[in-house]
């Protein structure tokens, strides 16, 4: 949940237009705290999104904002897609810091759009695939060496596995005991965790400018057309694999249940949704991907789901310090939900492979 904040400081620090009216709190994200501020500008409503950057997660907000301003300028210049328009604070930077050392930033609120947390409409999901495919192809000529790694080794699944083992060694027994089955399952997956990292090392998979957090709720859909028009939550844009983006979208959006569903019987991979997303994504990104990348698309959904299960469980063992939790035991529920999905994807890999091959050969 989002905590109270110093409104006076924020109003003093940014060049907002109009007279302040009120604010609303958004509870979608697991990391930053987000609010929408509303102003009266000559009788019209003008809104801004305000965010407190989580500096436990993002250790260098200054570098992160340099990444984001560079990327958004690049997208704006190309003109094929809407992007976020960050506003400067009165110190001339795209963020400001309060007396407690918190980092704040703000961008113009985009109207006429909606976000989804779950989806059952294959057409809308297909358009989200197109949006992420287009995002990647727009950034394919962005100078990758200028990007900072905002979270080092973010999707290095093997390092995530090692971190999990370390947390296991230091965690108190009462945190480990109820998760015995999940712990043993994940311990048996060491080899899978090293697979993509190994291919990067061998030069078999290229690094690209990727989003790295392609949850469905990080896309804005147009109210009128249902097209995915803007990609948000750009904090983790950095060098990565196209597979991270594809896999994470499937993990979240093609799940028949919520990411933190308690009843694991409701959780499965919807093959229709998988097909729809793959069609949308490949229609935009196919030409810029290698054969190897395309052949690993189904596997990427499996590995991203496994990785997030590892991350939720590691956070549980560490005492719930990374992800925001809404109730005690939230990370246990999330871990079990991700593992249920992961096992279902593993079973469906041959069918998923058939689907992507058919799209490519069509």
Site residues for ligand GN1, 73-112, by CB under 6 A, read none
Site residues for Mg ion, 216-275, by CB under 5 A, read 218, 233
Instruction: Select from 37-45, 141-149, 210-218, 270-278 the region that touches ligand GN1 (CB under 6 A).
Output: 210-218
Is 36 among the residues that bind ligand GN1 (CB under 6 A)? no
Which residue among 131, 232, 308, 309 contacts ligand GN1 (CB under 6 A)?
A: 308
Minimum distance of ligand GN1 from residue 236's CB (angstroms) = 5
Nearer to ligand GN1, 179 or 309 (CB): 309
Judged by beta carbon distances under 5 to 8 A according to partner kind, the member of ligand GN1, Mg ion, none in contact with residue 308 is ligand GN1
Instruction: Select from 25-33, 65-73, 101-109, 193-201 the region that touches ligand GN1 (CB under 6 A).
Output: 25-33
Secondary structure string (H, E, C) spanning the chain: CCCCCCHHHHHHHECCCCEEEEEEEECCCCCCEEEEEEEEECCEEEEEEEEEECCCCCCCHHHHHHHHHHHHHHHHHHCCCECCCECCECCCCCCEECCCCCEEEEEECCCCEECCCCCCCHHHHHHHHHHHHHHHHHHHHCCHHHCCCCCCCCCCHHHHHHHHHHHHHHCCHHHHHHHHHHHHHHHCCHHHHHHHHHHHHCCCCCCEEECCCCCHHHEEEECCCCCEEEECCHHHCEEECHHHHHHHHHHHHCECCCCCCCCHHHCCECHHHHHHHHHHHHHHHHHHCCHHHHHCHHHHHHHHHHHHHHHHHHHHHHCCCCCCCCCCCHHHHHHHHHHHHHHHHHHHHHHHHHHHHHHHHC
Is 233 among the residues that bind ligand GN1 (CB under 6 A)? yes
Is 247 among the residues that bind ligand GN1 (CB under 6 A)? no
Tokens of 164: 């999990």
Judged by beta carbon distances under 5 to 8 A according to partner kind, the member of ligand GN1, Mg ion, none in contact with residue 97 is none
Minimum distance of Mg ion from residue 49's CB (angstroms) = 12
Is 182 among the residues that bind ligand GN1 (CB under 6 A)? no
Nearer to ligand GN1, 154 or 281 (CB): 154
Minimum distance of Mg ion from residue 185's CB (angstroms) = 27
Judged by beta carbon distances under 5 to 8 A according to partner kind, the member of Mg ion, ligand GN1, none in contact with residue 261 is none
Which residue among 10, 31, 216, 257 contacts ligand GN1 (CB under 6 A)?
A: 31
Judged by beta carbon distances under 5 to 8 A according to partner kind, the member of Mg ion, ligand GN1, none in contact with residue 236 is ligand GN1
Binding site for Mg ion (CB under 5 A): 29, 218, 233
């Amino acid at each position: 949940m989002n905590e109270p904040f110093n409104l006076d400081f924020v109003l003093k620090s940014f060049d907002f237009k109009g007279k302040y009216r009120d604010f609303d709190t958004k509870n979608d994200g697991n990391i930053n705290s987000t609010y929408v501020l509303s102003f009266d500008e000559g009788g019209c409503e003008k809104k801004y999104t305000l965010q407190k950057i989580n500096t436990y997660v993002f250790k260098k907000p200054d570098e992160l904002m340099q990444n984001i301003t560079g990327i958004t300028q690049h997208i704006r210049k190309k003109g094929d897609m809407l992007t976020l328009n960050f506003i400067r604070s009165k110190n001339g930077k795209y963020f400001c810091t309060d007396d407690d050392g918190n980092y704040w930033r703000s961008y113009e609120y985009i109207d006429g759009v909606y976000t989804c947390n779950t989806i059952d409409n294959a057409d809308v999901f297909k358009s989200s695939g197109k949006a992420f495919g287009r995002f990647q192809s727009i950034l394919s000529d962005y100078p990758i060496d200028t990007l900072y790694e905002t979270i080092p080794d973010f999707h290095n699944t093997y390092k995530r596995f090692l971190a999990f083992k370390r947390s296991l060694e230091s965690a108190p027994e009462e945190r480990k005991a109820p998760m015995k089955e999940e712990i043993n399952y994940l311990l048996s997956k060491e080899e899978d965790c090293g697979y993509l990292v190994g291919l990067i090392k061998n030069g078999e998979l290229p690094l690209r400018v990727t989003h790295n957090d392609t949850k469905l709720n990080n896309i804005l859909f147009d109210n009128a057309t249902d097209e995915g028009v803007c990609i948000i939550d750009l904090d983790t844009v950095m060098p990565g694999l196209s597979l991270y983006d594809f896999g994470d979208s499937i993990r979240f959006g093609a799940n028949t249940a919520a990411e933190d569903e308690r009843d694991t019987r409701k959780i499965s991979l919807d093959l229709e949704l998988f097909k729809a997303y793959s069609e949308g994504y490949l229609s935009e990104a196919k030409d810029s991907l290698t054969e190897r990348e395309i052949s690993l698309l189904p596997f990427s959904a499996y590995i991203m789901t496994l990785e997030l299960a590892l991350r939720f469980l590691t956070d549980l063992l560490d005492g719930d310090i990374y992800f925001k939790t809404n109730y005690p035991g939230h990370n246990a529920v999330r871990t079990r939900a991700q593992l249920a999905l992961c096992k279902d994807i593993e079973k469906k890999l041959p069918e998923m492979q058939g689907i992507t091959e058919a799209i490519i050969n069509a």
